[in-house]
Structure 1
Amino acid sequence: MRDTCMLGPWLRRFLVDYIVTERRLARNTQKSYRDTFTLLLPFISAKIRKPADRLDVEDIAPTHVLQFLAHIEENRGCSVQTRNQRLTAIRSFARFVASRDPARLAWCAQIRAITTKKAAPQPITWMTRNEMEALLAVPDRRTPRGRAEYALLLFLYNTGARVSEATRLQVSDLQIGRHGDNHALVTLCGKGDKIRQCPLWPRTENALGELIQRRANGDPVFLSRHRKRYTRFGVYRLVERCAARVPTLAARSITPHVIRHTSACHLLQAGVDLNTIRAWLGHVSLETTNIYAEIDLEIKAKAMALCDAAASRPDRPWKEDKGVMAFLNAI
């Protein structure tokens, strides 16, 4: 009976059996949920003066959860989006426990009654074509390391791939060196193990072809300078380091996801329809891709404003137009 109260066994079943085996959620989701409880358990342990290993399920009380959410915002300086993400993990755990133990339905209802905060949407950051080309020009392609870094940056721009998709890429996922009118292709494994294919530009094909020479099909495509598979942190560090050397990007926060946004915006500006961009990026819903349409509308609005400002003015000022009142009364 005591085992059903202990928090530890429930967390193990939730993070290993439920998240991975039953739901088949992404590895990053599992890590995010794990990070939530890595922060939550010591916080509650300190509040009720009880070792984390001895915590019960119902020690995750609604009042403690609310205090924890306030703590990560006020003391840890996290954003509202991060606060809501942590709450999502806790609610998911409560729902999991209640589905296996109906006696805790009331506790689950109290946890799930905690509301998310409304957060202002984050502005989409992206780069112009000149800025993207300047970023690609940073690696020294006269060296093997520079050519590898250039290939990775170009691949992210070409495909709009997520970091996890790029780091998991294997040689067998590439179809390059095809003859005739067959384009080079890459097969990407995205969120929820969803598979999609993206065409590769000739320069991307050439850069990758040089990179994977003498490698087996099961080998990673992108290797760090230590000849090991790139990590998520390694890709972020590469992008940040290269962006710092571009004057127009040095003061901005440039991440691999900004390159993904850049790829989508450039496709839209080139006249590619939203549904094709959705498939290109691996979005499940078209609503996610619509954010890029809003960016394009802003560009069009600025262009319209410029055209309007350049329009010729009437020969006579408004006050001299004697027929304006008659015109308004006639409507």
Structure 2
Amino acid sequence: MPERDLLGPWLRRFLTEFIVTERNLARNTRASYRDTFRLFLPFASRKLRKPVDRLTVRDLASGLVLKFLSHVEDDRGCSVRTRNQRLAAIKAFARFIGSRDPAHIEWCGHIRAISSKKTMQPSVGWLTRSEMEAMLAVPDRKTERGQHEYALLLFLYNTGARVSEATELKVQDLSLAARRGGHDLATLHGKGGKIRQCPLWPETERALAHEIREREMDAPVFVSRLGTGFTRFGVYRLIERCAAQVPALAGRTITPHVIRHTTACHLVLAGVDINTIRAWLGHVSISTTNIYAEIDLTLKANAVALCEVGQQRPGRSWKEDKDLMAFLKSL
């Protein structure tokens, strides 16, 4: 069997060369693509009763892909969003093969014709200023551990950083120069290798200056009680624990991304233009940031409703409107 028909060589090139070297996709995106095929290939092997290393490109027909997507939703209990992510990875793989081998263009077209399922846009969860201040008040700043936790929470709120951006922050990424007439800045390394700078509040600068004292330049800024850098799980666990101690947040799920939403919404309510917020959060497209603009419009609509003057008068029944009935009959 020609090697160009076997699935294995194509998949190796796709996962180790194309998405890493040519596309330079984010690490989490690479992991998502890898995990898709770690699930898909054993599924295809079982359905086709064929060893994984003998699978061909054309074995992954559109019908098999649809069965796999149903398996993801029904058997594994995943959401529609996850189902669409798995499909996006398979489509990217098909596009990669189709662009390099004309013999597989027709197969590629069948795979790319599979539609994503429509999903409901989740509502933006965010905290009010008082709720965020209550979260910041939870860590006991009289202790070393409490100071670490307070600095991390304050940094997330100040910058709207993603979890990965906070956990990967190094001492060398901080520029604490306001006392010398400059600006206090944090350099964040975002998705896809994109870099942006966020200004820091004086309070954030003080907390971070205390954190990084006597640290090496390549050391992490945020460390756990064990002295090692915070992990993603550690940040999630910290925020979950702090939220549990705020009565106003009882029954709500508070995550690092909720704090990111909080930063954006507070910027909107402060009158910051949406394009500045896009750059602040590191969004590629402004359409991603536009969800926060709706927050302000909703608040304005609620305010107008509260200030409405007078009550609506009961109108006449449509049956009593003789002119209307005559109009309808004339149509």
Q: Taking structure 1 as the reference length, what is the TM-score of the superposition?
A: 0.90
- Please state how far the C-alpha of 1:232 moved relative to its aligned partner: 2.0
Which residue identity is paired with 1:191?
K
Say whether 1:231 aligns with 2:231: yes
What per-residue deviation string (whole Å, max 9, x for no partner) do you get for residues 238-294 of structure 1? 222222222222311211111111000001111111111111111122211111111
The CA distance in 2 between the partners of 1:194 and 1:251, in whole Å, is 36
What per-residue deviation string (whole Å, max 9, x for no partner) do you get for residues 179-217 of structure 1? 255331111111222221111011111111111111111
The CA distance in 2 between the partners of 1:54 and 1:224, in whole Å, is 47
The CA distance in 1 between the partners of 2:19 and 2:311, in whole Å, is 65
- Please state how far the C-alpha of 1:302 moved relative to its aligned partner: 0.8
Aligned to 2:145: 145
The CA distance in 1 between the partners of 2:172 and 2:23, in whole Å, is 27
Aligned to 2:102: 102
What per-residue deviation string (whole Å, max 9, x for no partner) do you get for residues 119-142 of structure 1? 111111111111111111222222
Aligned to 2:324: none
Unaligned runs of 5+ in 1: 320-324, 326-331
Say whether 1:25 aligns with 2:22: no
Q: Tell me the secondary structure at the aligned position of residue 227 of structure 2.
A: coil
- Please state how far the C-alpha of 1:94 moved relative to its aligned partner: 0.6
Aligned to 2:133: 133
Aligned to 1:275: 275
- Please state how far the C-alpha of 1:21 moved relative to its aligned partner: 0.4
Aligned to 2:318: none
List structure 1 segments (4+ residues) > 6 angstroms apart after TM superposition: none
Within a 5 Å distance, the mapping from 1:190-205 to structure 2 comes to 190-205=190-205
Evaluate the alpha carbon distance shift between residue 222 and residue 275 of structure 1 in structure 2; reply closer, same or farther with a 3 A threshold. Answer: same
The CA distance in 2 between the partners of 1:97 and 1:210, in whole Å, is 52
The CA distance in 2 between the partners of 1:318 and 1:6, in whole Å, is 74
Aligned to 1:44: 44
Which residue identity is paired with 1:47?
K
Evaluate the alpha carbon distance shift between residue 313 and residue 98 of structure 1 in structure 2; reply closer, same or farther with a 3 A threshold. Answer: closer
Aligned to 1:291: 291
What per-residue deviation string (whole Å, max 9, x for no partner) do you get for residues 55-86 of structure 1? 22222221111011111112222221111111
The CA distance in 1 between the partners of 2:223 and 2:55, in whole Å, is 43
Aligned to 2:160: 160
Evaluate the alpha carbon distance shift between residue 223 and residue 52 of structure 1 in structure 2; reply closer, same or farther with a 3 A threshold. Answer: farther
Aligned to 2:93: 93
Matched-pair identity in %: 65
What per-residue deviation string (whole Å, max 9, x for no partner) do you get for residues 112-168 of structure 1? 111111111111111111111111122222222221111111111100011111111
Aligned length: 316
- Please state how far the C-alpha of 1:16 moved relative to its aligned partner: 1.4
Aligned to 2:65: 65
Which residue identity is paired with 1:289?
T
Aligned to 2:253: 253
The CA RMSD measured in Å over matched residues stands at 1.9
Say whether 1:187 aligns with 2:167: no
The CA distance in 1 between the partners of 2:241 and 2:169, in whole Å, is 22
Q: Tell me the secondary structure at the aligned position of residue 288 of structure 2.
A: helix
The CA distance in 2 between the partners of 1:273 and 1:181, in whole Å, is 27
The CA distance in 2 between the partners of 1:262 and 1:155, in whole Å, is 13
Aligned to 1:34: 34
Which residue identity is paired with 2:16?
V
Within a 5 Å distance, the mapping from 1:110-125 to structure 2 comes to 110-125=110-125
Unaligned runs of 5+ in 2: 316-320, 322-331
The CA distance in 2 between the partners of 1:270 and 1:129, in whole Å, is 12
Evaluate the alpha carbon distance shift between residue 224 and residue 10 of structure 1 in structure 2; reply closer, same or farther with a 3 A threshold. Answer: farther
Moved more, 149-158 or 227-236: 227-236
Evaluate the alpha carbon distance shift between residue 12 and residue 250 of structure 1 in structure 2; reply closer, same or farther with a 3 A threshold. Answer: farther
The CA distance in 2 between the partners of 1:55 and 1:140, in whole Å, is 58
Q: Tell me the secondary structure at the aligned position of residue 225 of structure 1.
A: coil
The CA distance in 2 between the partners of 1:248 and 1:14, in whole Å, is 48
The CA distance in 2 between the partners of 1:263 and 1:95, in whole Å, is 37
- Please state how far the C-alpha of 1:227 moved relative to its aligned partner: 2.4
Q: Taking structure 2 as the reference length, what is the TM-score of the superposition?
A: 0.90
- Please state how far the C-alpha of 1:318 moved relative to its aligned partner: 7.1
- Please state how far the C-alpha of 1:313 moved relative to its aligned partner: 5.8
